Amino acid sequence: MQLLELSAVDLVTAIRQGDITAVQVAERFLDRIEKLNGPINAFLNVDREGALSRAADIDARRKAGKPLGPLAGLPIAVKDALCTADQPTTCASKMLAGFRPPYDADVVSRLRQADAVIVGKTNMDEFAMGGSNENSAFGPVKNPWDFTRAPGGSSGGSAACVAADMAPVAIGSDTGGSIRQPAGLCGITGLKPTYGRVSRRGLVAFASSLDQIGPMTRSAADAALVMETIAGHDRGDATSLADAVPRYTSMLEQPLTGLRIGRVAEHFGPGLDSEVARGVEEAFAAFKAAGATIHDVELPHAKYGITTYYLVAPCEASSNLARYDGAHYGHRAEPGRGHRAETGRGHQAASSGEFESPLVEMYCRSRAEGFGPEVKRRIMLGTYALSSGYYDAYYAKALRVRRLIRQDYLDAFQSVDLIGGPVSPTAAFPLGEKTSDPLAMYLVDMYTVGTNLAGIGGISFPCGFTKGGLPIGFQLQGPALSEPLLLRATDRYQQLTDWHRRRPKLPA
C-alpha cells in the first residue's frame, strides 16, 4: 500500500478498518516532512512526538473497540495563523516568534475532537499579507513543482505541503484568495467557504470582514470530508452562521445535468497568460461535456475589486494589528534611553531620532523590529485611509463599491448557478519576480478578491499544466452556502480528469 498516494478518504477508511495503523500513517508523513521540508520550507514547526502520541492513542482505542472520530488518524497540517495551545503560533512574523497561545482555535478543537492528527504548523506570508509566501520572516516557501518558483500565498506552506505529499490535508485561511491562489499554483484543491460557515475564533486576524478558514486537499472529496468537521456554528464567534452543516460527502455523486456555469468575458482580457486561458477554456469544455451549460455573465464592478480590497483590507489590518505594541505579548524591543523634550506649551515632543519617553521608544522600536516591510506598508496604507479628512474619500467609498461588487454577484446568480474562470493570471511565477513591485504582486489576486468582498464561496482546482510543467488553476464561485454545489461540481470534473492526481517529481 503506497500511503502517499492514498486520498484522505481512503486513509481514514483504511485506519478504521485496521488495514493500517494510525502510527504507521503518521510516521510515513512525518518522515516525508523530515526529508523535504529543508528545501521546501513548508513547515515552521513539526510536532513529531505529539503526533505519534496522538496516533498511538487512536490505535489503542480502535483495538479496544472504542468509538473513533470521523477523521481518526488523518494527518493534518495547520496554517500558522491558527492558535494551537501545544505548538507556537507565529503568523510567520518576528513579532510573534515563539508565542504559544493559551487556547486552541475553534477549527483546531474540532479537528482534535474528530481524532485528526495535527503534524505541524505551516509557513505563510507574515500575518497572511502576501501572494507569494516570500513575506515570511522565516524564509520563503518553494513551489514543489519548481523550487525556483513561488507557491502562492498567503497559505503557501499549506499548499506546498499537500502538493509535496507531506500531509494529505492542510488548513489555510483566505482573505483575498489566500487558499485558492496557492492551491491553483501548486496543483491542489482549495476551498474558501462562505463567510461565517467556518468559525474564525482563534484565527489571528488580518481583515476581520474578509478572513475565512478552509481546507486544502488533493480532491473535492477530501475537502468535503474535512468540511463536515470544521464547519458549523460557534457561539464564540459572533459572525458564525447558525445554519445546519450538510453531509457534504453524501452529495457528491449527483450529476451535473442542468448546472448553469457563468463565464465572465472580462476575465479573459489583458493580463491573462495564454496557456492559463487555454487550460481554463478546456475546463469549461469538460464541464459542458459533463452536462453543464455555459452562459456569459457580467460583473461590471469587478475591475474595481483590487482597488477596493486594498483599501478595505489594510484599514482592517491597521486596526487589528494595533494590539502588537510589545507591552502584553510578542516581540519587545530592548530598552534604550528615551528623550523627553519640552515644547513651549509644556507638552513632551520627540526630537529627531529620539523619543519622548522610554515607553514610546519601546512601542516604536518593537513594532519597527517585529513587523516586516509588507505588513508595515499595509498598516500605513490603512492608517492613512482611516485618518481624519481621508476616511470618506477612501474607506467609506471603498465600502460603497464593495456593496456594488456584492450586488453584481447577486444579479449574476439569478441566471447561473456558479461562475467559473481562472484563479490566477499566470502559473507559478519565479521567486523574487514581483517583490520589488507591490502592485504587480497585488494583481495576482485580481480574480479572487471579489469572492471575499462579496462573502460568498469559492473553490480552485487544477485544470491542466503549462508546457513548462506548472499547474494551471480553475476557479468556481457560488452563492452564499453553495459549498455542496461547489464540491459536487469539482468532484464530477475530477472524476473525468486526472489533473489532481499528478504529482511533482520529488524524492520518494
- Are 339 and 356 in contact by the 8 Å Cβ rule? The answer is yes
pLDDT mean over 214-229: 98
Tell me the percentage of the chain whose pLDDT exceeds 90: 91
> What pLDDT, on a 0 to 100 scale, did the predictor assign at position 151?
98
Rg of the chain, C-alpha, whole Å: 23
Which whole number is the average pLDDT over 55-64?
Answer: 98
For 169-185, how does the pLDDT look when each residue is reduced to its tens digit (9 = 90+)? Answer: 999 999 999 999 999 99
| Per-residue pLDDT reduced to its tens digit, 482-492 | 999 999 999 99
- Considering the domain 3-245+256-263+415-497 in this protein, what is its CATH number? 3.90.1300.10
Q: Which residue, chain included where needed, has cell 481621508?
A: 390
pLDDT, residue 305, reads 98
| Domain residue extents for the chain | 3-245+256-263+415-497, 326-370
339, pLDDT greater than 60: no
pLDDT in tens, 354-381: 677 888 888 899 999 999 999 999 999 9
- Give the DSSP letter string of 357-421: SHHHHHHHHHHHHHS-HHHHHHHHHHHHHHSTTTTIIIIIHHHHHHHHHHHHHHHHTTT-SEEEE
pLDDT-derived band at 508, boundaries 50, 70, 90: confident
Please give the model's pTM, rounded to 2 decimal places.
Answer: 0.95
Q: Is the pLDDT of residue 350 over 70?
A: no
Structural contact between residues 151 and 135, judged by C-beta atoms closer than 8 angstroms: no
Quick: pLDDT tens for 183-206: 999 999 999 999 999 999 999 999
User: Which residues are marked as active site?
Assistant: 79, 154, 178
What average pLDDT does this structure show over 399-426? Answer: 98
Distance (Å, rounded) from C-alpha 375 to C-alpha 413?
Answer: 35
pLDDT at 346: 38
One-letter amino acid for residue 357 of the chain = S
* Averaged pLDDT of the chain: 95
Confidence of residue 237 (pLDDT cuts 50, 70, 90): very high
pLDDT at residue 341 is higher than 70: no
Distance CA 158, CA 151 (A): 10
